[in-house]
Amino acid sequence: MEPQFNDKHDELVMACRRGDRQSQFKLYNLYAKAMYNTALRIVQDEAEAADVLQEAFLDAFTRLDSFRQECTFGLWMKQIVINKSISALRKRKLDMQPLDDGDAWAEEEPGEDVVAFKVETIKAAIGKLPDGYRLVLTLYLLEGYDHEEIAHILRISEATSRSQFLRGKRKLLDYLAN
């Protein structure tokens, strides 16, 4: 038996499917801020994040008939936003650093001493990272994807995802230490 998701916004989604513009506006207002923040974390540009948000909602409302309610509307919408954000980065020629054959990676030991940094300092340091590192770090740490999912989304190997994550984490810690 497939799991059923109880989405508290099912009624709004159904009204949107019928073409109700007020319901579309309500749904937009419910999710716009969170989806904008997701896009902003990935593209790192306010204007581009706003464009991604608009394109994502247009796409969602156009394809609402394909939403099979196997998950919540918010999760479905977030996936659209992430995909649009990644597409925007690709348009900017996202350059992932390939994993060399001899380049081994190892998980760092948990329990490292981590200094508490101000949120703005961390955001600024993340913003300095190269796109490939920042994207994998954002998807892994902030959006909660695992390396297998990231590899699928970005069309890279799982090893490259792990490598980008570890290199990005090291570089981020270097930025924060300095």
For residue 130, give the CATH number of its domain: 1.10.10.10
If asked whether residues 71 and 133 sit together in one domain, one would say no
> And the tokens for 146?
């695992």
| Contact present, 60 and 30 (Cβ < 8 Å) | no
Q: Is the pTM of this model over 0.75?
A: no
pLDDT attached to residue 177: 85
DSSP letter (8 states) at residue 14 = H
| Contact present, 29 and 94 (Cβ < 8 Å) | no
d(CA 77, CA 146): 19
3-class secondary structure, 12:
helix
If asked whether residues 86 and 134 sit together in one domain, one would say no
pLDDT attached to residue 105: 45
Averaged pLDDT for residues 68-87: 88
Please give the span between the terminal C-alpha atoms of the chain, in angstroms, as a whole number. 53
pLDDT tens-digit readout, 14-67: 998 898 999 999 999 999 999 999 999 889 899 999 999 999 999 999 999 888
pLDDT tens-digit readout, 139-162: 888 888 889 888 888 888 999 999
Which domain covers residue 173, as residue numbers?
A: 119-177
Q: What amino acid is encoded at 44 in this protein?
A: Q
d(CA 41, CA 134): 9
If asked whether residues 82 and 44 sit together in one domain, one would say yes
Question: H or E stretch including 151?
Answer: helix 147-154
If asked whether residues 85 and 124 sit together in one domain, one would say no
Is residue 98 in some structural domain?
A: no
Is residue 102 in some structural domain?
A: no
Structurally, the chain folds into a number of domains equal to: 2
If asked whether residues 123 and 85 sit together in one domain, one would say no
pLDDT attached to residue 103: 46
Does residue 113 or residue 88 have the better pLDDT? 88
If asked whether residues 61 and 125 sit together in one domain, one would say no
| Contact present, 117 and 128 (Cβ < 8 Å) | no
If asked whether residues 127 and 56 sit together in one domain, one would say no
| Domain-ending residue, one of 73, 91, 109 | 91
For residue 74, give the CATH number of its domain: 1.10.1740.10
Does residue 46 or residue 72 have the better pLDDT? 46
